[in-house]
Structure 1
């Protein structure tokens, strides 16, 4: 009798464990889907902030590909390159890049540049910089990031692509120099790559991954 009760209890516990595991799996999957959707919507909003919808008639997310260019884009991970076109003519590219040397770790960026090599905008999409100091790179907290708008390789020129502490033209953030220094360097490298490989950027097949490691 006791053995029978113990067996029933064991079965009940096993069933309970299976049910809990199944519920947890369903919850995790739902959470993963929600997070992915939130990230997608955030990316769309960020793209539209930098490249006005009136300038292109294609789907930027569909017209994209993955690029591996560690010497210019921060690391060896594939980076998404979005293309804006109007009547099939290239208008701008939005380049995903990493500033690897942030104060608290890598800083993930989106860098929009038009076909003339001018920046249309830069946005930080992920970072772990110090709240109240390094997080001033976020557009929601500070307009520092907008100083890149309209810049190019010739404006301010090679020597100017640095923070003022390093004799460049870009401001530091109060109490934080390492963070903006990392972002400035990453954006400058993006512009250099765009000038060098603009043809590849606009001719690459959508959905493909291209290894352009040098």
Structure 2
């Protein structure tokens, strides 16, 4: 029994070492791939002709549990043209998705026009709620060019009396998604000037 136990212990240590080595060797590559994917997503929601800076390097950390859906700080990327801020891409959380948090990024200009919306992470039901992913459908693209007006009625899905289509058999996911967009744009509208003056904090964001 002692011999078998030692063999198992040595095998476990060997496997742990292999996993640690693989993680060490691939960590930089994984981080690079994540940055490339984020850069591509940011380019989709804030057209490159609108700014002349590298968005991923111009990030700040924002925090508002009530409007951004999480106790954690989230990144926002400031787009500038001739050193003047013209738009931002801000990450947010829809905490009330059908299967948990939905991570979203929203591009919005200085006139509260939505430049684009993308889903960064979600665990919604395949074939139903996962239509918030552009690889599954174009549902999120309907928000492009929508003008947010803090004094107007918020966006709502049709089942709640609004104009946004819900998915067949799935209302919770689009309702949560639309709610997160409304709250996040309210946050931007209320804090835009302060956000534009915030210090760049990309290093903290990448930790």
Shorter-chain TM band: 0.7 to 0.9
Who is 2:51 aligned against? Answer: 56
Deviations 1:132-190 (A, max 9, x none): 000111112111111111112239x7435110100011110111100000010000111
Tell me if 1:205 matches 2:199: yes
Unaligned runs of 5+ in 1: 1-5, 210-214
C-alpha distance in 1, partners of 2:138/2:106? 16
Provide closer, same or farther for how the CA distance between residues 188 and 13 of structure 1 changes in structure 2, counting only shifts above 3 A. closer
Tell me if 1:136 matches 2:96: no
Larger radius of gyration: 1
Tell me if 1:184 matches 2:165: no
SS of the residue corresponding to residue 125 of structure 2 reads: coil
Deviations 1:98-126 (A, max 9, x none): 00000011000001000111100010010
Report which stretch shifted further, 39-48 or 16-25: 16-25
- The partner residue of 2:153 within 126, 139, 159 is 159
TM-score of the superposition, structure 2-length normalised?
0.87
- The partner residue of 1:67 within 53, 62, 75 is 62
Q: How many residues align?
A: 199
Who is 1:122 aligned against? Answer: 117
Cα pair 1:164 1:171 within 8 Å, conserved: yes
Cα pair 1:159 1:168 within 8 Å, conserved: no
Unaligned runs of 5+ in 2: none
C-alpha distance in 2, partners of 1:95/1:45? 15
TM-score of the superposition, structure 1-length normalised?
0.85
Cα pair 2:106 2:114 within 8 Å, conserved: yes
Deviations 1:71-93 (A, max 9, x none): 11111111001000010111110
Cα pair 1:58 1:86 within 8 Å, conserved: yes
SS of the residue corresponding to residue 120 of structure 2 reads: strand
SS of the residue corresponding to residue 162 of structure 2 reads: coil
- The partner residue of 2:23 within 25, 28, 37 is 28
C-alpha distance in 1, partners of 2:8/2:171? 57
